[in-house]
């Protein structure tokens, strides 16, 4: 069975019509009908039920459709990657970051591109260290930042810097206080499942206190917007305070303090080109970390 046959079937399902699908595909309707009949004969089961007025998809057809979507998507992604290799001697550097690192990462990449003007980059956001590890192991990305060490035989997890968590608050909310306790503050925190939320839960467990949580969100940006509205206080990593969205807000130290370490992760087994190693080196230089490539 050919990819084009799968694409024909997918288009029929999307258009819910042989006539409209044939027009969209720029082929004749008899040819499209014959293709689907041949597919059904090869498979040994019916994909579509056809009447004079309408078509409907069978239960097996639904399962076939779901598989066809994934196969066609994977096919086109693979073709794109192969053309990338042909078109450029410097394939894209694929790097995963976490939300709070975006500001300094952009500075480092700008420095890196000044030395490698032909280099292209693909930046994604991965917050789950387990997902990040899998992406590195599968060679889907070159580098990834995490807020916990990744312990895996196939991954090098290099500590870059340590940072405090701070309370994000409206200006002058705490007067001249240099630090505050967050025990009784109405807090805006990340949803469960995020590493930052785990750090906060562990923190309150050590204090033997129960946090006063009024809102849970997915991103620091969302939390920041709610702080701007005066709805509560957000606990954010100190580096995120460099974000443009925190303008006209204050960052106050937490008492007792809570810290985390940011790691740069890469695969032990992958043969990296020099441009990737130069980017690792640029990250290390930014944070004054000694690294031997």
Cα gap 214→258, rounded to integer Å: 20
Classify domain 3-84 at the CATH topology level: Arc Repressor Mutant, subunit A (1.10.10)
Angle formed at CA 289 by CA 285 and CA 292, multiple of 5 degrees: 90
Cα gap 111→107, rounded to integer Å: 6
Residues 200-205 have a mean pLDDT of 95
Cα gap 13→65, rounded to integer Å: 8
User: By the 8 A CB rule, do 260 and 254 touch?
Assistant: no
Neighbours of 90 (CB within 10 A): 11
Domain made up of 91-159+262-287: CATH architecture: 3-Layer(aba) Sandwich (3.40)
Q: What is the pLDDT of residue 181?
A: 95
Q: Per-residue pLDDT for 124 more than 60?
A: yes
Neighbours of 74 (CB within 10 A): 11
pLDDT digits (tens, 9 = 90+) for 31-62: 999 999 999 999 999 999 887 677 889 999 99
User: By the 8 A CB rule, do 235 and 166 touch?
Assistant: yes
Residues 96-107 have a mean pLDDT of 94
- Of the given ranges (16-25, 52-61, 92-101, 133-142), which has the lowest mean pLDDT? 52-61
pLDDT digits (tens, 9 = 90+) for 213-258: 999 999 999 999 999 999 999 999 999 988 778 888 999 999 999 9
- Topology agreement, domain 91-159+262-287 and domain 161-260: yes
Listed residue (179, 120, 152) closest to 263, CA to CA = 152
Q: What is the pLDDT of residue 265?
A: 97
Domain 161-260: give its CATH superfamily: Periplasmic binding protein-like II (3.40.190.10)
Cα gap 267→152, rounded to integer Å: 10
Alpha helices by DSSP H, listed for the chain, are: 3-15, 18-25, 29-43, 59-87, 102-115, 129-137, 195-207, 220-228, 274-286
Residues 11-36 have a mean pLDDT of 90
Residues 264-276 have a mean pLDDT of 90
Q: Per-residue pLDDT for 200 more than 80?
A: yes
The ranges assigned to domains in the chain are 3-84, 91-159+262-287, 161-260
Listed residue (137, 168, 141) closest to 154, CA to CA = 137
pTM: 0.70
Summary mean pLDDT of the chain: 91
User: By the 8 A CB rule, do 278 and 112 touch?
Assistant: yes
Q: Per-residue pLDDT for 292 more than 90?
A: no
Q: What is the pLDDT of residue 89?
A: 57
Residues 75-92 have a mean pLDDT of 70
Q: Per-residue pLDDT for 287 more than 70?
A: yes
Residues 66-73 have a mean pLDDT of 91
| Percentage, residues of the chain above pLDDT 70 | 97
Cα gap 132→144, rounded to integer Å: 7
Cβ contacts of 127-135, under 8 Å, gap ≥ 24: 127/98, 127/99, 127/194, 127/195, 128/193, 128/195, 129/195, 132/96, 132/265, 133/265, 135/96
Phi, then psi, of 239 in degrees rounded to 5: -65, -30
Residues 137-157 have a mean pLDDT of 93
């Amino acid at each position: 069975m050919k990819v084009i046959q799968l694409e024909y079937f997918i288009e029929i399902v999307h258009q819910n019509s042989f006539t409209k699908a044939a027009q969209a595909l720029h082929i004749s309707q008899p040819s499209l009908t014959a293709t689907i009949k041949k597919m059904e004969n090869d498979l040994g089961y019916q994909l579509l039920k056809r009447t004079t007025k309408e078509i409907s998809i069978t239960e097996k057809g639904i399962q076939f459709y779901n598989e066809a979507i994934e196969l066609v998507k994977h096919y086109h992604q693979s073709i794109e990657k192969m053309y990338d290799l042909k078109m450029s001697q410097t394939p894209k550097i694929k790097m995963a970051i976490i939300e709070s690192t975006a500001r300094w990462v952009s500075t480092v990449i700008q420095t890196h591109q000044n030395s490698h003007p032909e280099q292209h980059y693909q930046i994604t956001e991965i917050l789950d260290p387990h997902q990040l590890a899998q992406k590195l192991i599968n060679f889907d990305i070159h580098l990834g930042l995490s807020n916990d060490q990744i312990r895996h035989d196939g991954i090098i997890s290099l500590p870059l810097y340590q940072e405090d968590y701070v309370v994000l608050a409206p200006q002058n909310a705490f007067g001249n206080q240099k630090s505050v306790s967050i025990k009784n503050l109405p807090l805006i925190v990340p949803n469960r499942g995020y590493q930052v939320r785990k750090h906060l839960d562990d923190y309150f467990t050590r204090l033997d206190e129960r946090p006063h949580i009024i809102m849970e969100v997915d991103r620091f940006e969302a939390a920041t917007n709610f702080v701007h509205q005066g709805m509560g206080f957000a606990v954010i990593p100190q580096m995120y305070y460099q974000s443009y969205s925190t303008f006209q807000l204050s960052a106050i130290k937490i008492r007792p303090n809570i810290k985390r370490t940011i790691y740069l992760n890469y695969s032990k087994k992958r043969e990296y080109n020099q441009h990737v190693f130069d980017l690792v080196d640029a990250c290390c230089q930014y944070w004054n970390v000694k690294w031997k490539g």
